[in-house]
Structure 1
């Protein structure tokens, strides 16, 4: 099996970092746009899509800055991360997503993130 590579996506967002962080780090927030159902217990999030469940552990987070998840089935070095940055030029909030995918799947994965972020923006009123 070939090693997955990291890729990064950036999306400008029109909302405060604290509101955005709620949507990225809480079961209720993530359930609004990321998965059909989200539960959390002891820092492990259960994400449900069409009846199938996948679990990810929060490995690092800093309030209103970033949260990093590790899929329990994935190699240790792989994760997905939501980071909130401020553009120094425009002072706009930027959502930075880091994820891993096979080289041949990066485009599809990026597109999938794009659809999900579109849902997030809809919920945020962007």
Structure 2
């Protein structure tokens, strides 16, 4: 299996950090944009896409700031993180994504994130 490489993305989102954070951390909000269905139990999120389940452990969460997940069946050093950032001067809000993918799949993974975030922005009405 090809070693996975870390990559980062950033999206400007016109939303309050609190509202945006709820869409990153609450199962019912995540199911509106991130996956078809999301459930949460015992620190584990179950994401369903096209009938296929993927489980991720919540590694850390900071209110209105960030959530960090690790896919249960993934490599030990791999995780994905969604961080809410707010510029202190302009109050502009951005969403920073950190994820891992094999080098030959990074561009495709970035496109998937682009589509998901575009969908999130439409759900937020931002």
TM superposition score category, shorter chain reference: over 0.9
Q: Give how far 1:50 is off.
A: 1.0
Match of 2:39 in 1: 39
Question: What is the CA RMSD across the aligned residues, in angstroms?
Answer: 0.9
Normalised by the length of structure 2, the TM-score is 0.97
Give the match's secondary structure for 2:32.
Answer: helix
Deviation per CA, 1:22-55: give whole Å up to 9, x if none: 0000101100000000000011000011110000
The whole-number CA distance in structure 2 between the counterparts of 1:67 and 1:123 is: 19
1:96, CA displacement in angstroms?
Answer: 0.3
- CA shift, 1:92, in A, is 0.3
- Runs of 5+ in structure 1 lacking a partner? none
- Count of residue correspondences: 126
The corresponding residue for 2:73 is 73
Q: Unpaired segments of 5 or more residues in structure 2? A: none
Q: Distance in 2 between matches of 1:31 and 1:83?
A: 18
User: Structure 1 residue 28 and structure 2 residue 50: aligned?
Assistant: no
Q: How far did 1:84 drift?
A: 0.5
How far apart, in 1, do the equivalents of 2:22 and 2:85 lie?
15
* CA distance in structure 1 between the aligned counterparts of 2:74 and 2:88, rounded to whole angstroms: 35
Shift of 1:89: 4.7
- The answer on 1:86 being equivalent to 2:58 is no
